[in-house]
Structures are given as C-alpha cells and as structure tokens.
Chain A
C-alpha cells in the first residue's frame, strides 16, 4: 500500500491538495458573502442577516440550499451550447487561477514526495494568471449573447469591453514588479521581497504607482463597484446574467467572488510580500501574534454567545469560541505548529484586508458611468502604467551604473 502511494505520489498528493483547496475556497466564498452583507449593512446603519443562525452565520448555507432547490429555467431560442458553456467557463477559469498561487514558504515531504504549500509551482505562474484573466472575457461575452435578450447582450458587450480595456492596464502595471524581481514565478517574487527587515523591502514602496494602477484595474476586471455598471440593478436589470437562475447564476456568483480572492492574493504576493511577516525576522516574539489574536477573540465570542437570544446561538457560539481558544493555545504551546502557520497566517491576513477594502468600497462609492469608465481606463490608467514602467526602468538602469 505505501509502495503504491510512494510510486504514484506525484499524482495523488496534488489531487488531495486540489480537493482541500477547492473545499476551502468554496467555504471562504460562501462566508465572504456573509461578511459582505454584514459589513455593507453596518456601513448603511442596519443589521444585515441576523436571523438564520447566530449573527446570521448560517445565511450562506440557506442561500446554498435555495440555489439548489430553485427552478432552473431555460429561456426559449437560446443558443444552447453557449448558454450552458458560459457559466461553466467562468467558474472553471476562476477556480483554476488559484492553482498557481503559493500560500506559504514551507516545503514538506509526504510519502517521500517533496511538495510545497500551493498546488503548482511553474516558472511562468504570473503569465498563467494573465492568460486565465484573458480567457475569462469569453464567459461574460458568451453569457450576454447566448441569452437572446437585449439587456443581456448590451450588458455582456459592455462588460467584456470594460474587461479588455482594463486588462492592458493590469498587465502593464505589473511589469514594474517584474523588472525588479527579474522572474515570472510568483514564489520567487515573494522570496525576492524578503530580507531581514520585514516591511521595508516589500515591493509596495518602490512601486506605489504600480500598486494603485493594479488595484484599480483589478477592481474593473472583477466587475465590482465602482466599475460594476454592466451588472448594476438599476441600469440593465442584471446585465449579462439576467436570464440565468439558480445553479447557473450561483456559478457566476461563485466565480465573481473567487476572482476577487485571486486578485487580492495577487496583490499581496506582488506588492505586499505574500507570506512574509511585516516585522523584522529578529523580532521572534512576533511569532506569537496568531495566538495573541485568536485567544482573546475566542474568549469574546464565548462570552457574546452565552448571552445570545436563542438557544441555538447559546450552544453554537460558545462552542466556536472555545474552539478558537484551543487552537490559539495549541499554537502557543507547540512551536512546530506555530512556525508552520506563520506564512499562511500573514498571507490570509493580507488577503482579508484587501477583501475588506473591496467590500468597503462597495458600501461607499457610487458607480462610474460607462463612458467615464472607458475614458478613465484608456486615457488615464494606461498612460500612467506605461509611465510607471518607463520610470522603473530608468531608475534600475541608473542604479546599475
């Protein structure tokens, strides 16, 4: 048995990692919708979901059940191939792009097969991500066209035109980072940002213009506010996914949130040091930060749960709270576990910060009009990205002499 596992480890280990990653990402997507609804609600001075489970924590579960049981209509005179293919392409590409993201530095050995925290470690992982972004225009264009409806067609064409325009600015704004790092591989970009000094050697400082261009272009790519005219409710009913319901709409929905997660992961890896800690490595006491955060948070959840209004909350929340306290204590007492968790902890912390900024912008900013959007992308963002590339190359050449 172990012989078979060792011989085919190169096939079995990635499959297990893929299964774990897909499960984690789908759960994070579901709870991202909960976080979004709660945060936007609190920005707008209301409560958000708070009935389904304590603090509305089971709302994503209810949404999932609704999607499964809702009727899935097929409009007449649709182009069947394109209609069924569009959500499938969008979801498949969104999930595939997570395969090349490195989540942590460790290399660990299982069944004699040395592997790392991440699914694929290719030399051109950044280019793979860009090719997936380039292909995901098709999902939206086909969805808009296949639905045989004027709203969908207009929304689909507008949305794909927007995605193509901002794709240029996206790829150009990253060229500055590539010039500094000298390699396409995401893992080596993070490694190149590491030195003993923590925060100061991250790519954000030399490349602040590049980061701003990248983040703005990425928000336009993922069709989020303030660039979400193609799917705004007051404008085009629901844009390119007007004629999709239940499971197919859920696919578009999951794909959008997964794209958000991918873009946030990319922003942390390229500009904010990926899994690197912001503190200098000499400060080893900062390794206890996960425990220092988890234990008080767990205690707070525990005491909040004890006085919750219904019985289910009074059972579930203290359970969650004590689980968090136990995990935090385990991290504090087992240094092996603590070291293994450092990389992914900082990575996840930064990714969640970016996701929070996404949600914050959705609650705060109005949306662009379509012509304002296109002129901003072509007349402002693209020249600024090109200027960033030119400036970076001048500085690098000047330093070489």
Chain B
C-alpha cells in the first residue's frame, strides 16, 4: 500500500462523498459548497498525477471564480430549500437504479479492459508549465484564439442579459 495509493483513496472518497452530498442536500448553497469540495479534491488528484499547473488553474478558475459566480447567484436570488412537490415518485424508484447502472456499466467496462490501456500506470512525472505553454501556443494556437473569442461573446451576452429594461 504505497503512499500515493492511500492519498488517492482518501481524495477519491472525499470527491465521491461530496458529490453524493450535492445530491442529498436540500439547500442549493450547501450543494454549491459540496461542489467546491469536489473541485478541491480533484485538484489534489491532478497534483498526485503530476499536473501541477492544471491543479492550480482548477482551483483558481473553477473553484475561485466559477463557483463564486454560482454562490453569488444563489445569494442574489434568495434561493430557498427545495420544496416537496407531488409529481411522480416512480421516477425515484426506477430512476436511481438506472442511473447508477449507467455508471456501473462504464466502470465495469473500464475495469475489464484495464489491461489493454496503453500504459498501466501514470508515470507521475511532473509536467512542466513550459511544455504545456509551448503546446498551447504552437499546436493549439487556433483553439486558443477561438476560446478568447468565445469568452468575449460570453461577456457581451452576460452584460446584455443582465441589463435592466429601460
């Protein structure tokens, strides 16, 4: 039982518990906090795999900006706890086993074919930011410029949507 395996299991269990807590919590702010825990746990897993820049970007952008947006919107709209409605309960009895079956099938398929993966274990080597940025600006420069355009469109859209009707 090497140290990385122990750390992996701790972080993986944390991520799964937080994801389950996202489903089970009634108030959206608690779901948002659980999602933040999932993201931090995933950032820890990226660090374990040696992807240090991606881990930092995950926390700064995803956990520090996108989730803050969610938390602000929840506070702004005064979101309440979920109300109990009288719509069908059949969905819960048939649906949960079905959804978990999907995840189970994918997981079983992966586990059965684990041997034919190109390399059985990640090398754990640290990815230097220099390699990442060289790739980003040489091979992937076209998607890079497109995403900057996408962000511009998103900013304009958000401003137009949030304007007051005059």
Contacts and interface: CB of A to CB of B under 8 A. Distances in A.
So, do A and B actually touch in the complex, CB under 8 Å?
yes
Interface of A: 79, 81-82, 85, 122-124, 127-128, 130-131, 133-135, 137-138, 141-142, 145, 153, 157, 160, 164, 167, 171, 184
Contacts of A131: 43, 56, 59-60, 63-64
Nearest to B58: A131
B129 A184 contact: yes
Interface centre among B64, B65, B129, by most chain A C-beta atoms within 10 angstroms, is B64
Contact of B29 (A82, A130, A133): A82
Nearest to A164: B68
Main DSSP-derived SS at the B contact region: helix
A160 B52 CA distance: 27
A135 B53 contact: no
B75 interface: yes
A134 B55 CA distance: 13
Interface residues of B, number: 20
Given A85-B33, A123-B126, A135 B75 contact: no
B27 to A, nearest CB: 7
B137 interface: no
B56 A157 contact: no
Contacts of B65: 134, 164
Given A153-B75, A160-B68, A164-B65, A124 B59 contact: no
B124 to A, nearest CB: 14
Interface string B37-54: 000000100000000110
Contacts of B59: 131, 134-135
Nearest to A184: B129
Interface in B9-43: 27, 29-30, 33, 36, 43
Nearest to B29: A82
Nearest to A123: B52
B72 interface: yes
30 contacts: A81-B30, A81-B33, A82-B29, A85-B33, A122-B52, A123-B126, A127-B53, A127-B60, A130-B60, A131-B56, A131-B59, A131-B60, A131-B64, A133-B64, A134-B60, A134-B64, A135-B59, A135-B63, A135-B64, A137-B64, A137-B68, A138-B36, A141-B68, A142-B71, A153-B75, A157-B75, A160-B72, A164-B65, A164-B68, A184-B129
Interface of B: 27, 29-30, 33, 36, 43, 52-53, 56, 59-60, 63-65, 68, 71-72, 75, 126, 129
Contacts of B27: 79
A184 B130 CA distance: 11
A138 B75 CA distance: 12
A123 B64 CA distance: 21
Contacts of B60: 127, 130-131, 134, 171
Contact of A127 (B30, B56, B126): B56
Nearest to A85: B33
A363 B39 CA distance: 41
Contacts of A122: 52
B56 A128 contact: yes
Contacts of B33: 81-82, 85
A184 B43 CA distance: 18
Given A81-B30, A85-B33, A124-B52, A157 B64 contact: no
B72 A157 contact: yes
Contact of B71 (A138, A167, A184): A138
Interface centre among B27, B53, B75, by most chain A C-beta atoms within 10 angstroms, is B75
B56 to A, nearest CB: 4
A99 to B, nearest CB: 14
The 9 A-B pairs of least Cβ separation, nearest first, read A134-B64, A127-B56, A131-B59, A134-B60, A145-B75, A124-B52, A131-B60, A137-B68, A124-B56
A81 B72 CA distance: 17
A141 B70 CA distance: 12
Contacts of A137: 64, 68
Interface centre among B59, B60, B71, B126, by most chain A C-beta atoms within 10 angstroms, is B60
A62 to B, nearest CB: 36
